[in-house]
């Protein structure tokens, strides 16, 4: 299985496949209606202290 990492601000592409957002907070400047994702995995995101 191939896993690709992308920033949430990178443009969506046809070959993205299953898209997982890994973050505790919704990304700044991204409208929920405009960002397409299949799963929001908040529980596996880095702790608040690591986000600095």
Tokens at residue 48, please? 């608040």
Residues in the chain: 52
Q: What integer pLDDT is reported at residue 6 of this predicted model? A: 94
Task: Please tell me the pTM assigned to this model.
Answer: 0.80
| Cα separation, 1 vs 16, whole angstroms | 13
Residue 49: per-residue pLDDT = 85
- Cα 35 to Cα 7, 48, 49, distances in angstroms: 12, 23, 26
* pLDDT tens-digit readout, 1-52: 889 999 999 999 999 999 999 999 999 999 999 899 999 999 999 888 887 6
Q: Determine the pLDDT at residue 47.
A: 87
Give residue limits of the domains in the chain.
1-47
């Amino acid at each position: 299985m191939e896993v690709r990492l992308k920033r949430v601000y990178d443009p969506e592409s046809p070959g993205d496949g299953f898209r997982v957002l890994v973050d505790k907070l919704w990304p700044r400047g991204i409208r929920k209606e405009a960002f397409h994702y299949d799963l929001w995995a908040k529980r596996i995101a880095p702790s608040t202290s690591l986000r600095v």
